[in-house]
Amino acid sequence: MSANAREFIDFWVQNSVHAAEQFGEPGASQDVAELTRRCIEMAKNEGITEKAMRDEVGDMAEYIRDKLKAANKAESDRQK
């Protein structure tokens, strides 16, 4: 189950965690709690437990927060 959890997390982050849009346009959700809730809910629908995901990445909210910060930094750096 662990490999499935990791694959799910990687896939979900790639498709769901995005940088904020720039120049005042509506953008991706920047609410870590909401993103975490969605990830856990979707994982459950795939038969992956929250514990299995925590075993892979630790605290889910912290992991998603870090991925979101990285996405926002990469977008900011790209625009320089």
Q: According to DSSP H, which parts of the chain are helical? A: 2-16, 32-45, 50-57, 60-78
Establish how many alpha carbons lie within 13 A of residue 46's alpha carbon, considering only the half-sphere containing its beta carbon: 19
Overall pTM surpassing 0.85 (yes/no): no
Q: At what angle do helices 32-45 and 60-78 cross, to 10 degrees?
A: 120
Both tokens of residue 3? Answer: 């490999």
What whole-number percentage of the chain has pLDDT above 90? 61
> What average pLDDT does this structure show over 4-8?
94
The residue count for the chain: 80
Give the separation between CA 36 and CA 42, rounded to whole angstroms.
Answer: 10
